[in-house]
């Protein structure tokens, strides 16, 4: 089974996670892929391959005389709740010629390189797209396929000397829980790389400091005919709260190292309203300033309306792994050397998001991120370059060499 067959097999299995579920993993269908991966790993001689009680797959490609560092590779099995992951119908474009790709004529959906400029550097690549009705699942089944293709290569080429190589596949990364139950000690690697990026030339060791904020507003519901000086409409206060946050920090005004506050869910009425935010910034000091904005607005509105109108709950999601990676920079130097060895001039790029690796880094497993060739994740315009996926496998081969 080559890497294309693996990838198409994995995306055919629906593994969408659910941020509102309280089970572990958040959806049981993620276990379907986990069980399939364990089966394939055992067939490739990974005798300790297993799916644990939390839905995490672990395994060791046993060393054959190599004495280098014990390193690991990690990818996540789930796909985003933002778009359907059911009944995916991938479409392949061989030797892409740089033209507009029509992915769904009936829906009028296409990939235009003038809009999706990353396509311009993929002329000559073999691409896989969606049919416009679902996401593709390259985030992160491309990463899963890359790691499994490496395992297959090493199984077929026992002459390649290496130390133990640890691999793991996690559930629920897309809902921020991928590392919740990860056993770093059992994994047993000195450091690892996540395969969860985009362009193959980019690698990541900086990510957002990430927090979530839930704003619960309790209004005073009065018949509108008698509401004067009595009613407090929770939904109107919700609008007021949102409008008091700095306008320039809305996500659609930001890029690069800019932080943002993003209102991703709002519901309610006169009596109750709830706003759910994500708060992001690469700079921890600025992230804390954003958090203080939320607290300041709560205090102001409570005082304005004369009672505890707002309940505010802010939680840490993950922190910027750069703090730890910079103290272990040889991990990045090894990656740069591996990329150069296969003819890729890599460059570091800050992640405007996070990976399992961010949290694992603070759990004692330094874990920068490598590209997989995917783009436009979480929606119907998602695609992946098979050419880049194969290049990613070559980078991993260099990383495990003595």
Q: Which residues fall in the annotated binding site for Zn(2+)?
A: 76, 139, 174, 196, 378
Distance CA 350, CA 386 (A): 24
Q: Helices in 102-218 by DSSP H: which ranges?
A: 138-156, 184-187
**Which positions make up the binding site?**
76, 139, 174, 196, 378
| Token pair in block for residue 136 | 């593709």
User: Considering 14, 140, 173, 382, which one is annotated as catalytic?
Assistant: 173
Please answer whether residues 231 and 221 qualify as being in contact, where contact means their C-beta atoms are separated by less than 8 angstroms: yes
Phi, psi of 391, rounded to the nearest 5 degrees: -65, -35
Distance CA 307, CA 220 (A): 11
Please answer whether residues 111 and 131 qualify as being in contact, where contact means their C-beta atoms are separated by less than 8 angstroms: no
User: Considering 78, 126, 140, 149, which one is annotated as catalytic?
Assistant: 78
Annotated catalytic, 97?
no
**What is the pairing mode between strands 202-204 and 347-348?**
parallel
Phi, psi of 348, rounded to the nearest 5 degrees: -80, 140
Distance CA 366, CA 152 (A): 25
Q: What is the DSSP secondary structure assignment for residue 16, as one 8-state letter? A: B
| Helix, strand, coil in percent for the chain, rounding step 5 | 35, 25, 40
Distance CA 345, CA 355 (A): 23
Please answer whether residues 156 and 51 qualify as being in contact, where contact means their C-beta atoms are separated by less than 8 angstroms: no
Annotated catalytic, 78?
yes
- The strand pairing partners of 101, in sequence order, are 111
**What is the pairing mode between strands 101-104 and 209-218?**
unpaired
Q: Which residues are catalytic?
A: 78, 173
């Amino acid at each position: 089974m080559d890497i294309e067959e693996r990838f198409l097999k994995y995306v055919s299995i629906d593994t969408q996670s659910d941020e509102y579920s309280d089970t572990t993993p958040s959806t049981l269908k993620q276990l379907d892929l986990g069980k399939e991966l364990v089966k394939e790993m055992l067939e490739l001689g990974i005798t300790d391959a297993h799916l644990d009680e939390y839905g995490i797959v672990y395994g060791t490609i046993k060393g054959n005389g190599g004495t280098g560092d014990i390193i690991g590779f990690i990818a996540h099995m789930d796909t985003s709740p933002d778009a359907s992951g059911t009944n995916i119908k991938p479409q392949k474009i061989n030797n892409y010629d740089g033209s507009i790709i029509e992915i769904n004529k009936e829906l009028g959906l296409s990939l235009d390189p003038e809009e999706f400029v990353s396509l311009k550097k993929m002329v000559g690549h073999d691409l896989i797209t969606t049919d416009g009705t679902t996401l593709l699942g390259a985030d992160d089944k491309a990463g899963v396929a890359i790691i499994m293709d490496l395992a297959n290569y090493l199984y077929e080429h026992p002459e390649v000397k290496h130390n133990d190589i640890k691999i793991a596949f996690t559930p629920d990364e897309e809902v921020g829980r991928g590392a919740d139950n990860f056993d770093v000690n059992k994994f047993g690697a000195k450091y690892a790389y996540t395969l969860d990026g985009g362009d193959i030339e980019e690698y990541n060791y900086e990510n957002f400091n990430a927090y979530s904020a839930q704003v619960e507003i309790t209004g005073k519901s009065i018949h509108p005919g008698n509401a004067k000086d009595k009613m407090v409409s929770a939904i109107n206060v919700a609008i007021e709260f949102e409008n008091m946050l700095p306008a320039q920090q809305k996500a659609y005004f930001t890029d690069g190292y800019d932080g943002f506050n993003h209102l991703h869910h709002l519901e309610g009425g006169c009596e109750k309203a709830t706003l759910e935010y994500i708060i992001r910034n690469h700079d921890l000091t600025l992230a804390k300033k954003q958090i203080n904005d939320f607290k300041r607005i709560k205090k102001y509105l409570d005082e304005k309306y004369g009672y505890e109108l707002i309940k505010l709950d802010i939680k840490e999601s993950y922190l910027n792994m750069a703090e730890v990676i910079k103290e272990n920079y040889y991990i990045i130097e090894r990656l740069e050397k591996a990329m150069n060895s296969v003819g890729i001039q890599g460059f570091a790029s800050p992640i405007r998001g996070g990976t399992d690796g961010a949290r694992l880094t603070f759990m004692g497993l330094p874990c920068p991120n490598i590209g997989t060739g995917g783009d436009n994740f979480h929606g119907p315009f998602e695609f992946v370059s098979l050419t880049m996926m194969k290049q990613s496998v070559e980078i991993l081969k260099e990383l495990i060499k003595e």
